[in-house]
Amino acid sequence: MCRWMAFSGSPLLIDTLLYKPKHSLIDQSQHAELGAETTNGDGFGLGWYPTDPVLSGTPGTFHGVGPAWSNRNLRDLAGHLRSPLFFAHVRASSGTAVQETNCHPFRHENWLWMHNGSIRDFARLKRDLLLEVDDALFPLIQGSTDSEAMFYLALTYGLRDDPVPAVERMVGFVEATAARHGVADPVQMTVATTDGERIWAFRYSTAHQSRTLFYSRTVDGLRAVHPEVEALRLLSDQDRLVVSEPLGVMPDAFREVPESTYSVIYAGQDEMSGFNPR
């Protein structure tokens, strides 16, 4: 449905990863290989944490409704922003409107959230899902997607305090609601979320046939795949990249996140654990 990329590491010009690699996310917006759709032209988004100590921890976001591949503002920003942690997303709408408020990453305070996948029969489940959202959070929902609803449910369940159980409860609630409505196999997701320090990445689907999810083993591996990207030589071994599909052809550089798994990336470390909806 969509393709996304999350980076954490030494402050990097966003362009370095967003445009420069051969099968970059921008290339994937037109020619995705592992997704349900080859074209991801229904809007895009960028969320970045600033390097500038004067700026607070709130990430900046930039969203657009046209395709990423032709967007001159995105290209210019990517070439002028350095960041130690950023999310980028290209969207293939599953039917909801193409508008900025439906573009990922979604932001709440210092948190970002982006998603590839869908809730089956979302229109039928939408009312019950939204009514579960916390009263104080409800009016902050801006768009009409399942992805944003999942974010606000996870926030309702305590994402900011303890992300993994919050996402597990969110998925559990969606599955329970779907069961009440007779909707089979409702959840199909790879999700990334961050508070600006850690990145949590989830791969899960009710039917255990999830969208793909990968992360870079080490910078050494990335450098081997992308000798054409100068900036990679400057990276440290603490840098990590999580992606919907590998940026290049050499499989060694990226490790696939298994089904029903989440990973946490922090300060150059990453660990994986099982993901169990509640």
Q: Answer yes or no whether residue 52 interacts with its own copies by CB under 8 A.
A: yes
Residue of 7, 27, 42, 153 interacting with its own copies (CB under 8 A): 42
Please identify, using beta-carbon distances, which residue of 39 and 260 lies nearer to its own copies. 39
Burial class (CB in 10 A: 0-12, 13-18, 19+), 238: middle
- One character per residue 125-164, x = contact with its own copies (rule: CB under 8 A): -xx--xx---x--xx-xxxx--------------------
Please identify, using beta-carbon distances, which residue of 178 and 257 lies nearer to its own copies. 178
Q: Answer yes or no whether residue 19 interacts with its own copies by CB under 8 A.
A: no
Residue 10 to residues 51, 88, 121, 214, 238: CA-CA distances in angstroms? Answer: 10, 17, 41, 20, 8
Give DSSP secondary structure letters for 69-127: GG-HHHHHHHTT-EEEEEEEEE---SSS--SGGGPSSEEETTEEEEEEEEETTHHHHHH
Contact 45, 89 (CB under 8 A): yes
Q: Answer yes or no whether residue 84 interacts with its own copies by CB under 8 A.
A: no
Residue of 34, 36, 65, 164 interacting with its own copies (CB under 8 A): 65
Q: Answer yes or no whether residue 233 interacts with its own copies by CB under 8 A.
A: no
Distance, CA of 146 to CA of 152 (rounded, Å)? 10
Distance, CA of 230 to CA of 60 (rounded, Å)? 26
Residue 101 phi, psi dihedral angles, 5° rounding? -70, -10
Token pair for 79: 């070439």
- One character per residue 172-211, x = contact with its own copies (rule: CB under 8 A): ----------------------------------------
Q: Answer yes or no whether residue 93 interacts with its own copies by CB under 8 A.
A: yes
Distance, CA of 235 to CA of 111 (rounded, Å)? 25
Q: Answer yes or no whether residue 54 interacts with its own copies by CB under 8 A.
A: yes
Distance, CA of 73 to CA of 71 (rounded, Å)? 6
- Minimal distance, residue 59 CB to its own copies, in Å: 8
Residues that bind its own copies (CB under 8 A): 13, 30, 38-39, 41-42, 48, 50-52, 54-55, 60-67, 69-70, 72-73, 76-77, 79-80, 82, 93, 97-101, 122-124, 126-127, 130-131, 135, 138-139, 141-144
